[in-house]
């Protein structure tokens, strides 16, 4: 299929806030709210953050015009995009698209925030640009075929995210369709993101998403200054589809473009772990409550997921049953299951409490993960799962087709606020958290996003942060 690059570029350049359905605007604001809350918490509480900030300081990238929520300092646009993108993905608590099997806001919103501050954009401008970025990134992953892309060792959040980030930033910089296409053409050489972090708990999953945000912004700025990119970044002989997933279906990148909004298919996570673990957690929590299951009565737990899911949260089994760090835990179905059974919930603070808890680790070793045909039949529409628990008092099973947080089982406004408050109140206080939430949920009324971001910056930080 020819002219894919041109058609996507025209879509981005011509999209206006007034073109967006009201429900798409509302969903975008809630996704922004969720992501900003995660950034604020991760700025203070993710173990990878101190080295990230130290590196930015050493590179002399502090002191620019852009904000990092939860941080009193200012940074250069490129640094802010890198930091915010990395923070947004550091807790593995950010939004997901089931069929595209990726996270959207983490690479895209930080690039949009940086570009928006460069030009003093309005809230409406930011919303339109962010939606444009979502639509580009998600559609590229659908076209690649995420399972095929994963099998080659790529993380589509980052590889597709750099194009979404370039789209969002380029739109805010006022670029026309040719300029957007040039930005995509430059971004083709920046599309990266390896799954090797699964082997050893490396922090690179976080940073390669931040780098996608940073690189997308830089590609857009280069193109806006006349730097020339390739003309066919997506459909070219050595373009994105041919190089990154040779069995791709390029037509899916255009299907429904400009009238079907993939943004509405983004889910918000209730738990800070890989999305493929969530149906299992939902099922375990339901069984725990319904049958009053006690951890000491549990003899065996089996969690069934899709073939794609088991590669991320279930294999190799011995490694997943013996998590050694936060990244291991985030991608370990046994660990997530053990915490859920012990706590009756799953929160970010549970990593610190349970990674070295022998009772939790002992329970991990009782959890097996397998490919469930019901979950496989739901894939890629849903990241479904089943929990089977054998106790001293009987065997219990529950299948979850649509995990909590998916569009068909979305969080309520109260649940959104509860998550946001839990992430932000330790750093902004109840008053600051409430004012920031209100400002984001009324973002379309803001003449300048600077006024919104100013609410998110703490007054001071301890030296350790």
Per-residue pLDDT of 239-271, as tens digits, reads 999 999 889 999 999 999 999 999 999 999 999
- Whether residue 232 is found in the same domain as residue 282: no
Instruction: Write out the two tokens for 172.
Output: 């805010």
- Whether residue 178 is found in the same domain as residue 310: no
Residues 12, 18, 23: CA angle, nearest 5 degrees: 95
Stated pTM of the model: 0.92
Give backbone dihedrals phi and psi of 47, rounded to 5 degrees, phi first. -70, -20
Domain assignment present for residue 208? The answer is yes
Instruction: Write out the two tokens for 253.
Output: 């990148």
- Whether residue 34 is found in the same domain as residue 152: yes
**32: domain CATH number?**
1.10.4100.10
Query: What mean pLDDT value characterizes the chain?
Result: 95
- Measured distance CA(164)–CA(394) in Å, rounded: 49
- Whether residue 24 is found in the same domain as residue 78: yes
Write the burial class of residue 265 (CB in 10 Å: 0-12 exposed, 13-18 middle, 19+ buried): buried
- Measured distance CA(213)–CA(79) in Å, rounded: 10
- Whether residue 298 is found in the same domain as residue 344: yes
Domain assignment present for residue 418? The answer is no
Domain assignment present for residue 440? The answer is no
- Whether residue 168 is found in the same domain as residue 245: yes
Count of domains observed in the chain: 2
- Whether residue 11 is found in the same domain as residue 42: yes
- Whether residue 253 is found in the same domain as residue 111: yes
Domain assignment present for residue 415? The answer is no
**378: domain CATH number?**
3.30.1330.120
Expressed as residue numbers, the domain containing 215 is 4-267
Whole-number pLDDT of residue 460: 65
Task: Choose the final residue of a domain: 404, 426, 455.
Answer: 404
Task: For residue range 405-428, list pLDDT tens digits in order.
Answer: 999 999 999 999 999 999 999 999
Domain assignment present for residue 334? The answer is yes
Task: Choose the final residue of a domain: 362, 386, 404.
Answer: 404
Domain assignment present for residue 263? The answer is yes
- Whether residue 178 is found in the same domain as residue 124: yes
Domain assignment present for residue 444? The answer is no
- Whether residue 370 is found in the same domain as residue 244: no
- Whether residue 150 is found in the same domain as residue 281: no
Domain assignment present for residue 453? The answer is no
**Parallel/antiparallel/unpaired status of strands 96-97 and 74-75:** unpaired
Please give the chain's pLDDT, 465 residues, in tens.
569 999 999 999 999 999 999 999 999 999 999 999 999 999 999 999 999 999 999 999 999 999 999 999 999 999 999 999 999 999 999 999 999 999 999 999 999 999 999 999 999 999 999 999 999 999 999 999 998 999 999 999 999 999 999 999 999 999 999 999 999 999 999 999 999 999 999 999 999 999 999 999 999 999 999 999 999 999 999 999 999 988 999 999 999 999 999 999 999 999 999 999 999 999 999 999 999 999 999 999 999 999 999 999 999 999 999 999 999 999 999 999 999 999 999 999 899 999 999 999 999 999 999 999 999 999 988 999 999 999 998 999 999 999 999 999 999 999 999 999 999 999 999 999 999 999 999 999 999 999 999 999 876 665 555
Task: Choose the final residue of a domain: 389, 404, 419.
Answer: 404
Of 131, 129, 92, 126, whose CA–CA distance to 209 is shortest? 92
Angle between the N-to-C axes of helices 77-90 and 22-45, in degrees from 0 to 180, rounded to the nearest 10: 90
- Whether residue 261 is found in the same domain as residue 376: no
Instruction: Write out the two tokens for 455.
Output: 């609410």
């Amino acid at each position: 299929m020819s002219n894919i690059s041109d058609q996507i570029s025209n879509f981005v350049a011509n999209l206006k806030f007034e073109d967006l359905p009201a429900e798409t605007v509302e969903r975008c604001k809630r996704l922004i709210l969720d992501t900003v809350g995660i950034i604020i918490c991760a700025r203070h509480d993710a173990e990878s953050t101190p080295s990230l900030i130290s590196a930015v300081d050493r590179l002399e990238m502090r002191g620019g015009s852009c904000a990092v929520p939860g941080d009193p300092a200012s940074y250069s646009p490129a640094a802010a995009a890198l930091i915010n993108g990395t923070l947004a993905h550091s807790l593995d608590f950010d939004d997901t698209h089931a069929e595209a099997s990726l996270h959207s806001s983490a690479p895209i919103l930080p690039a949009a925030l940086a570009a928006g501050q460069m030009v003093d954009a309005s809230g409406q401008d930011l919303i339109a640009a962010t939606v444009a970025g979502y639509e580009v990134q998600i559609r590229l992953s659908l076209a690649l075929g995420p399972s095929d892309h994963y099998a080659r060792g790529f993380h589509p959040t980052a590889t597709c995210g750099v194009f979404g980030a370039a789209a969002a930033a380029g739109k805010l910089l006022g670029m026309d369709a040719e300029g957007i296409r040039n930005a995509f053409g430059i971004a083709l050489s920046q599309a990266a993101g390896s799954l090797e972090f699964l082997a050893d708990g490396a922090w690179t999953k976080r940073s390669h998403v931040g780098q996608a945000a940073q690189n997308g912004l830089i590609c857009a700025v280069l193109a806006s200054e006349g730097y020339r990119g390739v003309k066919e970044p997506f459909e070219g002989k050595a373009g994105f589809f041919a190089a990154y997933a040779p069995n791709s279906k390029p037509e899916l990148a255009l299907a429904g473009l400009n009238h079907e909004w993939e943004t509405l298919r983004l889910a918000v996570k209730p738990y800070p772990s890989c999305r493929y673990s969530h149906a299992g957690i939902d099922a375990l929590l339901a069984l725990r409550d319904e049958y009053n299951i006690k951890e000491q009565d549990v003899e065996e737990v089996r969690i069934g997921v899709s073939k794609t899911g088991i590669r991320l949260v279930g294999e190799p089994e011995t490694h997943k049953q013996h998590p050694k760090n936060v990244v291991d835990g985030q991608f370990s179905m046994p660990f997530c299951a053990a915490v859920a059974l012990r706590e009756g919930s799953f929160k970010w603070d549970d990593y610190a409490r349970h990674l070295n808890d022998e009772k939790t680790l002992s329970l991990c070793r009782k959890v097996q993960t397998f490919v469930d045909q019901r979950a496989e039949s739901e894939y890629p529409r849903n990241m479904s799962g089943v929990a089977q628990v054998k106790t001293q008092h009987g065997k219990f099973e529950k299948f979850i087709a649509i995990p909590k947080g998916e569009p068909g089982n979305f969080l309520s406004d109260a649940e959104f606020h509860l998550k946001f408050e839990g992430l932000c109140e330790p750093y902004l206080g109840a008053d600051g958290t409430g004012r920031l939430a209100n400002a984001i949920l009324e973002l379309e009324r803001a003449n300048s996003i600077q006024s919104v971001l100013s609410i998110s910056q703490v007054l001071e930080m301890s030296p350790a942060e």
